[in-house]
Amino acid sequence: MYQIIFFDIDGTLRDESYGIPETTKTAIKMCKENGSYVCLCTGRNVEAISDDVLELKMNGTIASGGSYIEFENKIIKEKFFPINKVEEVSLYLKNADEQTAFTFETNDTVFMNEEAVRILKYSNEEKFRSLTNEERKYVSENEKIIYEDNIDKLKTNIHKVNKICLWSNEEIFEKINQILLGEKIELAQCFKVDTRNYYEIIQKDCNKGDAIKELCKHLNIPIEETMAFGDGRNDIDMLKKAGTAIGMKSGSMEIFKYVDSICEEPFNNGIYLELKRRNVI
């Protein structure tokens, strides 16, 4: 028996364009009825989790890539970058070249500069280009992140930052690394984007893999009795640590060497079918 099952959201539990398949909703309900805990494990902050996901009433939530852990409405972990370090990084990045894009994430807000807004909006436009007007309306209604140049609204004495995303050259990243003290941070993911690199910066021991281990320790659940579903690069640590790791067929090819099996895409009933094959439901 799998005592707890972890689900990434975007591209796994939920299709960003079409929402959550009915079969997945049924599977989640059946898992709970059969005695397994179900838990979100997402890079999104808590407030950015869409309402259709919240309606699933999962037992737990791991958010912000692993910096936040909640179970049965009790916060188990919240970890933030030191205020003085965030101030220093923010000041440096605001004076960087105009091609440098960055976001600072808290539990309830994503602060971003103008270039980050441009990149994220363009990415969404490309992703949803083939959607009908009705489908676009659905996406718009369920997206909680506001894409605006709001970086000047970041007040480090009020807003506690748990993740920094950066689109830049290596020199700028190395400077940020020095400011934050490299040995105390890690990258949830890093890959090439146009002429820049994308860096998703989190604190040491705050990745998804460390988070599922921490929650399992809190619940006294052996890691061998866990299962995890994921599709992206930032799921790799989770997939490596889970007792049984399932990758989505539509996911990044980089994850496939870390999984025990590959299931169908969300709207091809992947989660439901995989749980059925493994006699979980």
Task: Note whether 112 and 167 are same-domain residues.
Answer: yes
Q: Is 219 helix (H, G, I), strand (E, B) or coil?
A: helix
* Mean pLDDT, residues 51-77: 96
pLDDT digit string (tens) for 164-218?
999 999 999 999 999 998 778 999 999 999 899 999 999 998 999 999 999 999 9
User: Residue 268 maps to which CATH number?
Assistant: 3.40.50.1000
Give the chain's domain count: 2
Task: Note whether 192 and 214 are same-domain residues.
Answer: no
Task: Note whether 98 and 185 are same-domain residues.
Answer: yes
Which helix (H) or strand (E) segment is 6 a member of? strand 4-7
pLDDT digit string (tens) for 210-268?
999 999 999 999 999 999 999 999 999 999 999 999 999 999 999 999 999 999 999 99
Task: Note whether 198 and 232 are same-domain residues.
Answer: no
Query: What local confidence, expressed as pLDDT, does residue 265 receive?
Result: 94
Among the listed residues 116, 111, 95, the one whose alpha carbon sits nearest the alpha carbon of residue 156: 111
pLDDT band for position 1 (50/70/90)? confident
Compute, in degrees rounded to 10, the torsion defined by CA atoms 243, 248, 251, 256: 50
Among the three residues 168, 203, 238, which one is the final residue of a domain in this structure? 203
Task: Note whether 94 and 53 are same-domain residues.
Answer: no
| E strand intervals along 83-235 | 101-105, 110-112, 163-168, 185-193, 196-203, 226-230
Task: Note whether 199 and 89 are same-domain residues.
Answer: yes
> Which residue bears the tokens 């059925």?
276
Task: Note whether 92 and 193 are same-domain residues.
Answer: yes
Task: Note whether 186 and 211 are same-domain residues.
Answer: no
Quote the CA–CA distance of 237 and 95 in Å, as a whole number.
33
Residues in Cβ contact with 86 at an 8 Å cutoff, skipping those fewer than 6 apart: 104, 156, 161
Among the three residues 203, 232, 249, which one is the final residue of a domain in this structure? 203
Q: In this structure, are residues 240 and 258 in contact, taking their beta carbons and an 8 Å threshold?
A: yes
The separation between the first and the last C-alpha atoms of the chain, rounded to the nearest angstrom, is 10
Strand partners, 193: 196
pTM of this prediction?
Answer: 0.94
Residues in Cβ contact with 57 at an 8 Å cutoff, skipping those fewer than 6 apart: none
pLDDT band for position 130 (50/70/90)? confident
Among the listed residues 204, 210, 87, the one whose alpha carbon sits nearest the alpha carbon of residue 151: 87
User: Residue 174 maps to which CATH number?
Assistant: 3.30.1240.10
Task: Note whether 90 and 199 are same-domain residues.
Answer: yes
Task: Note whether 223 and 197 are same-domain residues.
Answer: no
Among the three residues 203, 228, 255, which one is the final residue of a domain in this structure? 203
Task: Note whether 73 and 87 are same-domain residues.
Answer: no
Quote the CA–CA distance of 219 and 82 in Å, as a whole number.
28
Query: What local confidence, expressed as pLDDT, does residue 132 receive?
Result: 83
Q: In this structure, are residues 281 and 273 in contact, taking their beta carbons and an 8 Å threshold?
A: no
pLDDT band for position 137 (50/70/90)? confident
The alpha-helical segments, DSSP class H, found in 128-253 are: 133-142, 170-180, 208-219, 236-241
Quote the CA–CA distance of 36 and 1 in Å, as a whole number.
8
Mean pLDDT of the chain: 94
Quote the CA–CA distance of 157 and 86 in Å, as a whole number.
10
Task: Note whether 102 and 69 are same-domain residues.
Answer: no
Angle subtended at Cα 169 by Cα 167 and Cα 173, rounded to the nearest 5 degrees: 75
* Domain around 269: 4-78+206-277
